[in-house]
Structure 1
Amino acid sequence: MNKFKVNKNNIPNLLTLFRMVLILPLLIIFPIAWALSININWTSVNIALTSIILVIFIIAMFTDFLDGYLARKWKVVSNFGKLWDPLADKVMTTSVLIFLAWMNIIPFWIVVILVIRDIVVDGARVVMSKNNISIAANLYGKLKTLVLSISIIFVMIMYLSLGNLFINKLYVLLFNIPTLIGLALSLLSGFIYLKTTFKINKTK
């Protein structure tokens, strides 16, 4: 019974670690898919590689939901999870976003803003953690994660459906409206997090 309890308590954290491991195959697939998209026409190989990236991302986002759900259900929310769960999510999401920008599926400037925002917020989170202060993600941060995840899945499906037609700038702009909403939520959640951080530091 005690053994199950220990294992159960570790499951959410193991899911977080698993999500980090999922980034490794992407680091191999990304350059191959990009090279194929440049050197040859839209092929079944390119479709297969992009589909694999999509599947891995969906699995990663599912584990993100699952570890949070299990941690709350079993009441095993840990400082490790509060720190590394959002970081694992950002590593996966940012990696895929960079790849999509590399492939001209998502405007590059959107990814730059998102990366800068995450660096600033995560830097503040690490500093607060070293001072034994843990600040969980706010509502807008959770909405941002959900919207960005859905938008990434959406644009990848559209890319797979349209193939080379996706290079049309109108398609890129139209299908990235959800991504722009995710960007707005990201900036708002980042502002709220930093505001909370500064407020806590002033009271110390």
Structure 2
Amino acid sequence: MNIANKITVSRVILIPIFLIFFLVPWHFGTFTIGDAVIPVQDFIAAILFIVASCTDWLDGHYARKLNLVTNFGKFLDPLADKLLVMSAFVPLVGFGTIPSWMVIVILAREFAVTGLRLVAVESGEVIAASRIAKWKTAAQMVALILLLFHNIPFGENGFPLAMIILWIAVVLTVISGWDYFYKNREILLKSK
């Protein structure tokens, strides 16, 4: 297993560790950042999420720089991204932090694009991640980091930056999903 794939595997391994700190009530106390009071365990979970998110960039960097692109990496890297993002989104819905419909839109797009990729593979084609899909993933991860830090507000009215970025992520999710299906429509038409 090459270094890029090891980094991807480390992202998957970090997910349950992140969830243990995020979901188990440890009662380590709290501290304040600006007006936000953040439990220490949530801060640790946020740091773990940041580290895991950075491995997404790092594995791709090494795979391209050292020409270490493998089928295993093509399979596991997007799966690891989806697992990481959903492991944060789903509990945030359960906590009432974010609306469930936003996560449903994101999940629906992920399932649809994954299905499209499976159909493409059966046709001998590979659908690479588009630039807009990479922006979508980045927006999701930034929104999640801010949400894990308890919506640290900004601006005059204190509107949470996390929700603005989450809205951007949802819009990019819809646009990127449409983009994948439009650009690859002939794959679906051939599969009839």
TM-score normalised by structure 1 residue count: 0.77
Structure with the higher strand share, 1 or 2 = 2
Change (3 A) 1:84 1:195: farther
C-alpha distance in 2 between matches for 1:75 and 1:121: 26
Match of 2:79?
87
C-alpha distance in 2 between matches for 1:184 and 1:13: 30
Residue 109 (1) aligns with residue 101 (2): yes
Shift of 1:88: 0.7
Match of 1:44?
30
Match of 2:21 among 29, 34, 37: 29
Match of 1:148?
140
1:198 maps to a residue whose letter is R
Residue 138 (1) aligns with residue 130 (2): yes
Residue 55 (1) aligns with residue 41 (2): no
C-alpha distance in 2 between matches for 1:123 and 1:172: 37
Residue 186 (1) aligns with residue 173 (2): yes
Mind listing any 5+ residue stretches in structure 1 that lack a counterpart? 1-6, 37-41, 163-169
Identity %: 32
2:30 maps to a residue whose letter is S
Q: Which runs of 4+ in 1 moved over 6 A?
A: 170-173
Match of 1:20?
12
Task: Show CA shifts across 1:116-155 (max 9, x none).
Answer: 1111111222332344321111111001111111111122
Does the 8 Å CA contact 2:18/2:45 hold for their aligned counterparts?
Answer: yes
Q: 180-189 or 126-135: which moved more? A: 126-135
TM-score normalised by structure 2 residue count: 0.81
Change (3 A) 1:82 1:60: same
Q: 109-118 or 194-203: which moved more? A: 194-203
Change (3 A) 1:59 1:89: same
Shift of 1:158: 3.8
1:44 maps to a residue whose letter is T
Number of aligned residue pairs: 182
Task: Show CA shifts across 1:6-65 (max 9, x none).
Answer: x6xx111111111111112234334324x97xxxxx943971221121111101111100
Does the 8 Å CA contact 1:82/1:134 hold for their aligned counterparts?
Answer: no
Does the 8 Å CA contact 2:119/2:188 hold for their aligned counterparts?
Answer: no
C-alpha distance in 2 between matches for 1:201 and 1:178: 32
1:97 maps to a residue whose letter is F
Shift of 1:179: 0.4
1:50 maps to a residue whose letter is D
Match of 1:69?
61
Match of 2:164?
177
Shift of 1:173: 6.3
Change (3 A) 1:172 1:29: farther
C-alpha distance in 1 between matches for 2:173 and 2:4: 24
CA-based RMSD: 2.7
Does the 8 Å CA contact 1:12/1:67 hold for their aligned counterparts?
Answer: yes
